[in-house]
């Protein structure tokens, strides 16, 4: 049997599972941020007309899934599996949403790395011929996360300067085979649980950066690629501080990130929105991927990206028992299939040669 593997941690999807639809929905604050115009939907009220924030969270997820189905003009009967999870204990947002859709459900827990975990599992199921289409989704909500992991909002607790702001938002990607979409997932690198001993539950960026570094380095080793092979390397929610730590860790390991690296948590909020280190939460990378990033890929601005959602696998009880924070990151390659432009043999035009490559422009001469 042919092994669809590269190195230790990377799996190859030879049938190129396509991204056939996507949808991102966010809260008011996120909608006021720099990416506001890219989101499919911005809700005005964090309670979303519901009685509790937990119910609001699952309604937001449901909206994202319904939105992706509608936007992609997908026949609901063609969807085989729902794959996802969220930050709430026992992933109730995802489970309760799955109850609504009545499709076979694969529940995941990868904290804020869930978007890339669900894409990797979904791509494997489509690539292996086990599914025609899969829904990959996740969600987070500022108010539910604060009260579960830190303090209830009612306490008016002061936030430390290293903290991040959990994004209220959800993202849904629908994967499928044999579709017209040009954007597909050729590879995924599953991450190892990494723990550098950080114990400060407020400083997620510092805790998660080593996990991101590990997965990205594994990916480069497995694939023999370098940072410059990607138009964009984007982590999930390291925030400002965590991103800087990641740059340092990468440089220390001999990989220099240039301006082709950024972090979803860093770009979702503007500086004057007072989120300190930026956004976090499973919904952060999910909503940024399914809006701005995939939009830029559809437009051909990015042709090959590495999407690395990052998760901190702590619980309140592990923190109370004095444990450090184990973290994980899964790296997903997303590429845009580019038509080879018909070359006019009489001209000296510069054209982009690749079918599946990076956006390096190649000078063509007769």
Residues that bind a second copy (CB under 8 A): 1-5, 8-9, 11, 15, 52, 54-55, 80-81, 85, 88-92, 95-96, 98-99, 102-111, 117, 121, 124-125, 127-132, 148, 177-178, 189-195, 313-318, 321, 323, 326, 328
Q: How far is the CB of 315 from a second copy (least distance, A)?
A: 4
- CB closer to a second copy out of 9 and 235: 9
Distance, in Å, from the CA atom of 133 to the CA atom of 173, rounded to the nearest integer, reads 10
- CB closer to a second copy out of 177 and 358: 177
- Extract the tokens encoding 101: 């859709």
- CB closer to a second copy out of 193 and 301: 193
How far from 4 is each of 7, 8, 105, 128, 226, CA to CA, in Å? 10, 12, 25, 10, 21
Distance, in Å, from the CA atom of 108 to the CA atom of 138, rounded to the nearest integer, reads 10
303 in Cβ contact with 228 (< 8 Å): no
Q: How far is the CB of 186 from a second copy (least distance, A)?
A: 13
Q: Which of 169, 170, 168, 216 is nearest to 192 (CA)?
A: 216
User: Could you tell me if residue 357 is left (phi over 0), alpha (psi between -120 and 50 degrees) or otherwise beta?
Assistant: beta
Q: How far is the CB of 117 from a second copy (least distance, A)?
A: 7
Q: How far is the CB of 361 from a second copy (least distance, A)?
A: 34
Q: How far is the CB of 197 from a second copy (least distance, A)?
A: 11
Distance, in Å, from the CA atom of 45 to the CA atom of 330, rounded to the nearest integer, reads 32
- CB closer to a second copy out of 81 and 292: 81
Q: How far is the CB of 142 from a second copy (least distance, A)?
A: 16
- CB closer to a second copy out of 35 and 88: 88
- CB closer to a second copy out of 89 and 349: 89
Parallel/antiparallel/unpaired status of strands 169-176 and 18-26: antiparallel
166 in Cβ contact with 145 (< 8 Å): yes
- Extract the tokens encoding 127: 């690539």
- CB closer to a second copy out of 268 and 308: 308
Q: How far is the CB of 234 from a second copy (least distance, A)?
A: 20
Give the residue carrying structure tokens 């849904």: 172
206 in Cβ contact with 162 (< 8 Å): yes
Give the residue carrying structure tokens 């990052």: 310
């Amino acid at each position: 049997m042919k092994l669809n593997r590269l190195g230790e941690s990377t799996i190859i999807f030879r049938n190129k599972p396509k991204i056939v639809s996507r949808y991102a929905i966010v809260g008011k604050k996120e909608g006021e941020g720099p990416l506001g115009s890219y989101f499919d939907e911005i809700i005005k009220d964090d309670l979303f007309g519901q009685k509790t924030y937990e119910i609001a969270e699952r309604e937001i997820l449901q909206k994202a899934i319904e939105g992706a189905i509608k936007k992609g003009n997908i026949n609901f009967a063609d969807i085989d599996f729902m794959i996802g999870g969220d930050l709430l204990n026992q992933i109730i947002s995802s489970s309760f949403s799955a109850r609504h859709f009545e499709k076979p459900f694969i529940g995941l827990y990868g904290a804020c790395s869930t978007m890339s975990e669900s894409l990797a599992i979904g791509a494997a199921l489509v690539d292996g011929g086990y599914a025609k289409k899969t829904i990959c989704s996740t969600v987070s909500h500022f108010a539910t996360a604060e009260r579960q992991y830190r303090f209830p909002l009612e306490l008016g607790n002061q936030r430390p300067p290293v903290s991040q702001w959990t994004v209220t938002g959800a993202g849904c990607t629908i994967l499928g085979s044999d579709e017209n979409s040009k954007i597909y997932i050729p590879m995924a690198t599953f991450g190892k649980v990494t723990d550098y001993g950080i114990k400060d539950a407020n400083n997620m960026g510092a805790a998660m950066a080593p996990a991101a570094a590990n997965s990205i380095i594994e990916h480069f080793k497995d694939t023999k690629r370098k940072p410059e092979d990607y138009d964009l390397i984007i982590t999930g929610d390291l925030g400002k501080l965590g991103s800087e730590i990641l740059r340092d860790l990468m440089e220390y390991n001999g990989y220099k990130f240039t301006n082709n690296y950024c972090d979803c948590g860093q770009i979702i909020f503007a500086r004057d929105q007072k989120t300190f280190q930026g956004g976090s939460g499973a919904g952060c990378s999910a909503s940024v991927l399914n809006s701005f990033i995939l939009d830029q890929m559809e437009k051909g601005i990015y042709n090959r990206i590495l999407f690395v959602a990052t998760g901190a696998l702590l619980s309140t009880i592990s923190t109370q028992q004095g444990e450090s924070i184990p973290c994980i990151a899964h790296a997903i390659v997303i590429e845009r299939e580019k038509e080879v432009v018909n070359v006019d043999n009489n001209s000296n035009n510069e054209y982009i040669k690749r079918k599946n490559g990076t956006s390096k422009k190649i000078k063509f001469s007769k």
